[in-house]
Amino acid sequence: MPKRDERHMASMRKQILTAAQIVFEKKGVHAATMSDVSTQAGLSVGSLYVHFRSKEEVLLQLIDSGVNGEPFDACATAGELLGLIEAILQALEAPGSASQAACTALEVAAIARRNAEVQAVVVRNFTRLRDAVLGAAARVASDGGTQDVQAIGEALMSLLLSAQAQMLIGVPSCNDAKLKAARMLITQLHGAPVRVKRYTAPLRPTGSD
């Protein structure tokens, strides 16, 4: 039997996942079918099942690849950390954020409550993101700043999660106040006023799902 080209297989999986994300956001996870995904991807349904056993497996892969702690891993200064948090808050507040994509996130949260496998992935993603935020807080702390680095890191994580939760349920996020709170917290870490460094790279979702 001929050996499958790993690069081609990876490319096909990426094509399917991209299509699935579009379909889930248009129709919702519950209403979407593998046939919908195959049509969006321009592939046969049989081709999808070569790579994924079910819609649930596609969803799990999307959830697992959705977490994005990398920007926090790259933060080396207080200004970079503040700029990143500002960019995330602005992205959550942008028009269209509370759209079907938000509804999909709510569906995932509901699924996680009754599906142990999905719950495990969501918890793992939350842990990755939390570790990245706490790691960034530890890196930007200076000798002149507060000693309770972990508490401030947890507070920054809570700001981000509350902003996302408010976006998902469609209530005002009060992001100006959250940004002021983030500046105060990071100033405490740094031990001096912080000059924000604007974050310009594309952002992926930061939430646990």
Please give the Cα distance from 72 to 148 (Å, whole number).
Answer: 19
pLDDT at 135 exceeding the cut of 80: yes
Q: What is the DSSP string of 2-44?
A: PPP-HHHHHHHHHHHHHHHHHHHHHH-TTT--HHHHHHHHTS-
How large a percentage of the chain has pLDDT more than 90?
A: 40
Task: Give the residue carrying structure tokens 């902003």.
Answer: 163
Residue count (the chain):
209
pLDDT at 8 exceeding the cut of 50: yes
| Whether the Cβ atoms of residue 146 and residue 188 lie closer than 8 Å to each other | yes
Q: What average pLDDT does the structure give for the chain?
A: 84
